[in-house]
A = this chain, B = another copy of it.
Amino acid sequence: MAAPLRVCFFGDSFVNGTGDDACLGWVGRACAAGRRNGTDLTCYNLGIRGDTSADVLRRWEHEARARLAPEHDGRLVFSFGAIDCCLRDDASQVRVPVDQALANARMILASALAWRPTLMVGPLPVCDRETDGRIATMSAALAPLCVSLGVRYLEVFHHAANSSSWACEVAAGDGAHPNAIGYTAVSDAFHRWAPWQACID
């Protein structure tokens, strides 16, 4: 096996793998695929249900430093932004306006990249039409931000939003999260992604 790698995945319920009866999510499947390919990979899944960019900003560094000591070959993968686009409980406004979300993303990714190799995966749809419209805008806006910071960015929104099996699993589940087929599709896209392949090579 190649040199041991420890990867922290930060983000929301989709990072956590919520709704997946196999309890792997896309993160667990991608890490298992990496191990099958010969990478000695330790996975730290730090997705939290309901986390916005503001929540990730608050906690990521503290939690990452508890897991990646200076002597470890540690990497960071982020995926957030979907919950930012959901309405607050009183439906008055979105949880985090897109400008603030992008400012949060800039702070997170700039600090992360200065510390460890860092990748970003775009937000996924929550299968509510209005919210998904905002998530599509957020997903598109994160691309040039990542380019400007030198962080490689994988958009996955449209892949999921246009998938009938994703929609079926969401409908059969809690109305927002897919199950094994949906998470496998995201995992496959991530596993094939050249920047991740370069990371685990």
- Residues of B with C-beta under 8 A to A23: 24, 28-29, 31-32, 35, 43
Report if A42-B22 is in contact (Cβ < 8 Å); known contacts: A28-B28, A48-B67, A67-B48. no
- Can you name 11 A-B residue pairings with CB atoms under 8 Å? A6-B49, A16-B42, A21-B32, A23-B31, A23-B35, A23-B43, A24-B24, A42-B49, A48-B66, A49-B67, A55-B66
**Stoichiometry (number of copies):** 2
- Residues of B with C-beta under 8 A to A67: 48-49
- Residues of B with C-beta under 8 A to A21: 32, 35-36
A4 smallest CB distance to B (angstroms): 8
Within 8 A of B (CB), among A146-183: 174
A130 interfacial by beta-carbon distance below 8 Å: no
Report if A45-B42 is in contact (Cβ < 8 Å); known contacts: A59-B66, A66-B59. no
A89 smallest CB distance to B (angstroms): 11
- Residues of B with C-beta under 8 A to A24: 23-24, 28
